[in-house]
């Protein structure tokens, strides 16, 4: 907690949820707002599974962004329910909301998010992401008008999170809706997540990106060892899968696939922690972990 004396009398500080259906670019937007990667990304839906804070501070503002899993209507596993519960609980306890949609798309999943937002009375900023991928920009204005009729938004902003277009405008708009109060975190803090968590997420990102549809949803990563020895960070990571066949796919022929995942993860972890990294990875079958509430709690999915 930061002493009030470290901030000005007119300081504004508050929590801002980033919500939307799966795979609309919420985590990419957070990373570009922070100008630093703390939330993993991939083309696979529901890559983000946790509530992740990204904190931006200047002399008079502290924006505490809350990246959330994509809200969805299917409950095949306990993990799906837990992720939805995470989103709903976050929405109840923030000062503003960024609702992310994608191009000209509006489907049942977007409507589900909007229905949940109707229960909130805080300002909602609607962001239309990936507009750089629209072949016909003339269709954007009618789409904006149709979205404006769905509820009262404080603003509707077309952006390209990946291309960094209009991202600064989002930050300016958000600052207007932060409550006047002292900062809640040290000014140099960027996230509430531990180094072990970030390392685990980077490894999971590499598994997801390299394997795509070859590996289904039931993959997670647990860090068994995280220690600094001299100038080298030693990390032992355990990749948990649901079935033996998934383990074979991740390991690959003569361990080649696992080596590729390890190399890509190590390079990203070295950048994240500005340290040389010795990374060792293993793959273990833990059947039913995504549908086991106790396992989800031990893996950090349930706070």
Domain ranges of the chain: 4-175, 195-298
Share of the chain above pLDDT 90, in %: 48
Q: How confident is the model at residue 129 (pLDDT cuts 50, 70, 90)?
A: very high
Please tell me the predicted confidence (pLDDT) of residue 13.
Answer: 96
User: Which pTM value belongs to this model?
Assistant: 0.81
At residue 199, the pLDDT reads: 92
CATH placement of domain 195-298? 3.30.300.20
The answer, yes or no, to whether residue 277 has pLDDT greater than 60, is yes
Q: For residue 170, give the nearest of 116, 124, 104, 103 by alpha carbon.
A: 124
Nearest 10 degrees: CA dihedral of 268, 271, 275, 278? 10
- What pLDDT sits at residue 67? 84
SS3 284: strand
- Is residue 208 within 8 A of residue 37, CB to CB? The reply is no
Instruction: Work out the pLDDT band at 94, boundaries 50, 70, 90.
Output: very high
Per-residue pLDDT, averaged over 112-137, amounts to 90
Q: What is the pLDDT of residues 211-242, one digit of tens each?
A: 866 665 678 899 999 999 999 999 999 999 88
Q: Indicate whether 128 pLDDT > 80.
A: yes
| Fold: same for 4-175 and 195-298 | no
Which pLDDT score, from 0 to 100, does residue 31 have? 87
Handedness of CA 151, 154, 155, 159 (dihedral sign): negative
Interatomic CA distance for residues 237 and 228, integer angstroms: 15
Q: What is the pLDDT of residues 46-75, one digit of tens each?
A: 555 567 889 999 999 999 998 887 676 665
Q: Is 60 exceeded by the pLDDT of residue 45?
A: no
What is the structure's pLDDT at 214?
Answer: 64
Q: In whole angstroms, how large is the CA radius of gyration of the chain?
A: 20
Given this model, what pLDDT does residue 27 score? Answer: 86
> Please, which pLDDT band fits residue 4 given cuts at 50, 70 and 90?
very low
At the fourth CATH level, which superfamily is domain 4-175?
P-loop containing nucleotide triphosphate hydrolases (3.40.50.300)
**Taking a C-beta distance cutoff of 8 angstroms, is the pair 124, 100 a contact?**
no
Burial 199-210 (b: 16+ CB within 10 A, else e): bbbbbbbbbbbb
> Residue 5: what pLDDT?
41
pLDDT per residue as tens digits for the range 197-211: 899 989 988 988 888
Widest CA span in the chain:
62
Instruction: Name the average pLDDT for the chain.
Output: 85
Residue 173 clears pLDDT 70, i.e. is over it: yes
Mean pLDDT score, 145-161: 92
Contact 290, 248 (CB under 8 A): no
Rounded average pLDDT over 18-46: 79
In the prediction, which pLDDT does 1 show?
43
Q: For residue 124, is pLDDT > 80?
A: yes
Instruction: Give the per-residue pLDDT at 21.
Output: 87
Helices (H), 163-292: 167-175, 195-211, 244-251, 256-273
Who has greater pLDDT, 77 or 141? 141
Between 291 and 232, the higher pLDDT residue: 232
Show Cβ contacts of residue 35 under 8 Å, excluding neighbours closer than 6 positions. Answer: none
Q: What is the pLDDT of residue 251?
A: 92
């Amino acid at each position: 907690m930061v002493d009030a004396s470290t901030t000005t009398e007119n300081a504004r500080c508050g929590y801002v949820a980033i919500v939307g259906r799966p795979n609309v670019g919420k985590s990419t937007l957070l990373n570009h707002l922070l100008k630093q990667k703390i939330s993993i990304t991939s083309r696979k839906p529901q890559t983000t599974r946790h509530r992740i804070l990204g904190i931006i501070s200047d002399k008079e503002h502290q924006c505490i962004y809350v990246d959330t899993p994509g809200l969805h209507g299917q409950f095949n596993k306990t993990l799906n329910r837990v992720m939805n519960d995470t989103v709903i609980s976050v929405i109840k306890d923030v000062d503003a909301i960024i609702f992310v949609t994608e191009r000209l798309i509006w489907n049942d999943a977007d409507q589900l998010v909007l229905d949940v937002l109707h229960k909130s009375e805080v300002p909602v900023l609607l962001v239309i992401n990936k507009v750089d991928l629209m072949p016909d920009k003339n269709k954007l204005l009618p789409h904006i008008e149709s979205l404006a009729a769905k509820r009262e938004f404080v603003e509707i902003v077309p952006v390209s999170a990946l291309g960094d277009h209009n991202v600064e405008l989002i930050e300016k708009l958000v600052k207007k809706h932060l409550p006047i109060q002292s900062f809640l975190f040290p000014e140099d803090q960027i996230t509430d997540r531990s180094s072990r968590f970030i390392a685990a997420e980077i490894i999971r990102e590499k598994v997801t990106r390299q394997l795509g549809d070859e590996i289904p949803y039931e993959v997670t990563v647990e860090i068994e060892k995280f220690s600094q020895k001299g100038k080298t960070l030693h990390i032992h990571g355990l990749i948990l899968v649901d079935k033996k066949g998934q383990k074979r796919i991740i390991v690959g022929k003569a361990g080649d696939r696992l080596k590729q995942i390890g190399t890509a993860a190590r390079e990203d972890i070295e950048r994240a922690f500005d340290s040389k990294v010795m990374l060792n990875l293993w793959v273990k079958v833990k059947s039913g972990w995504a549908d086991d509430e106790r396992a989800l709690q031990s893996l950090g999915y349930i706070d």
